[in-house]
């Protein structure tokens, strides 16, 4: 018997987006008829959610691919099973709330949460120079800057006036490369190394080269530890290469799967859609 499923995206017309397309393909094999629902194409009347004129009904399984706003919370509530839960998304979409995640198999970079305009010398004293400046809710390398001098910092402050930012120690040993793993309930589905063609940011969305990376015991322990702390069903976990081992970078609560599937050959979409509990495969 087929079950109804929703994939919550920004817009309805995202059928060609790799991650959602793969979820639709694997969901079909499991008897889940997924429909893409755009948060921006939905209105909340108070007692109904209406997507482009259609009243939305309950669904067996909802996969949340949109991070922001109140409507996405209401859409997630339509699912008997919701991955990730809105509680997890709303908590950890903010990078400043990720700083407390720990594992004995990784270290944390020095960091400072402060508003733009905080004296340059105070940031340098806390995290060193150069340093990384991050917007709290950016993704795909957006709002991430390497600050090497006061002129660059002044430019940043002009661009993001009165904005709360996360300032972090720059891990020079990891310049232009990092590790991304996909964790599904604490199990590593796939792991890859990303290497930038230029610059210090190694995001796949920015054109970085990707290749499979060994799932060693430390990688496994980090995934398990972060799952225990977040209870996130699906996470992209990013690690940097420190002088003495892995350094925590950040987590992504709505990770794409294109890079990890292409780099490793793993079936990430099958692992995620299986969380609906609607199939006999494990």
* pLDDT of 44: 97
What's the CATH number for 95-102+175-276? 3.30.470.20
Which element (helix H / strand E) includes 262? helix 258-264
How far apart CA 136 and CA 222 sit, in angstroms, is: 22
Are the C-beta atoms of residues 103 and 226 closer than 8 Å to each other?
yes
How far apart CA 267 and CA 203 sit, in angstroms, is: 20
Question: What pLDDT digit, counting tens, does each position of 2-54 carry?
Answer: 899 999 999 999 988 999 999 999 999 999 999 999 999 999 999 999 999 99
CATH 3.30.470.20 domain locations along the chain: 95-102+175-276
User: pTM value?
Assistant: 0.92
Cα–Cα nearest to 73, from 36, 41, 32, 44? 44
How far apart CA 84 and CA 63 sit, in angstroms, is: 7
Query: Residue 278 pLDDT more than 50?
Result: no
Question: What pLDDT digit, counting tens, does each position of 216-268 carry?
Answer: 999 999 999 999 999 999 999 999 999 999 999 999 999 999 999 999 999 99
Residue 194, burial from CB neighbour count under 10 angstroms (0-12, 13-18, 19+):
buried
Q: What's the residue count for the chain?
A: 282
CATH 3.40.50.20 domain locations along the chain: 3-83
CATH 3.30.1490.20 domain locations along the chain: 110-170
Question: What pLDDT digit, counting tens, does each position of 100-142 carry?
Answer: 999 999 999 999 999 999 999 999 999 999 999 999 987 666 7
Mean pLDDT, residues 66-92: 96
Give the CA distances from residue 86 to residues 51, 71, 92, 120, in Å, rounded to whole numbers and listed in that order: 19, 11, 10, 36
Mean pLDDT, residues 169-184: 95
Tell me how many degrees the CA angle 3-8-9 measures, rounded to the nearest 5: 140
Which of the four CATH numbers 3.40.50.20, 1.10.150.20, 1.10.3720.10, 3.20.20.220 does domain 3-83 have? 3.40.50.20
How far apart CA 15 and CA 279 sit, in angstroms, is: 23
Query: Residue 279 pLDDT more than 50?
Result: no
Query: Residue 280 pLDDT more than 70?
Result: no
* pLDDT of 56: 97
Query: Which residues, in sequence order, are CB contacts of 191 under 8 Å at separation 6+?
Result: 179, 180, 181, 182, 212, 213, 214, 215, 219, 260, 264
What's the CATH number for 110-170? 3.30.1490.20
* pLDDT of 198: 59
């Amino acid at each position: 018997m087929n079950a109804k499923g929703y994939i919550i995206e920004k817009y309805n017309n995202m059928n060609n987006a790799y991650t959602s397309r793969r979820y639709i393909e694997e969901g079909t094999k499991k008897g889940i008829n997924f429909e893409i629902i755009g948060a921006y194409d939905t209105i909340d009347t108070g007692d109904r959610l209406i997507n482009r004129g259609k009243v939305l009904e309950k669904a067996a399984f909802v996969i949340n691919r949109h991070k922001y706003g109140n409507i996405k919370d209401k859409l997630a509530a339509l699912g008997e099973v919701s991955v990730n839960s809105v509680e997890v998304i709303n908590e950890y979409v903010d990078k400043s709330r990720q700083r407390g995640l720990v594992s004995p198999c990784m270290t944390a970079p020095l960091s400072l949460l402060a508003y733009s305009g905080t004296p340059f010398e105070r940031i340098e004293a806390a995290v060193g120079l150069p340093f990384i400046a991050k917007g709290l809710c950016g993704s795909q390398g957006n709002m991430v800057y390497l600050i090497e001098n006061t002129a660059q910092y002044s430019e940043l402050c002009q661009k993001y006036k009165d904005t709360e930012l996360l300032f972090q120690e720059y891990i020079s040993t990891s310049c232009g490369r990092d590790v991304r793993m996909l964790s599904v309930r604490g199990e590593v589905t796939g792991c890859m190394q990303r290497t930038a063609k230029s610059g210090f940011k190694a995001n796949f969305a920015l054109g970085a080269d990707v290749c499979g990376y060994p799932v060693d015991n430390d990688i496994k322990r980090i995934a398990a530890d972060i799952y225990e702390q977040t209870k996130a069903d699906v996470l992209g976990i990013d690690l940097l290469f420190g002088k003495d081992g892995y350094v925590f970078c950040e987590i992504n609560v709505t990770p794409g799967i294109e890079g990890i599937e292409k780099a490793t050959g793993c079936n990430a979409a099958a692992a995620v859609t299986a969380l609906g509990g609607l199939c006999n495969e494990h």
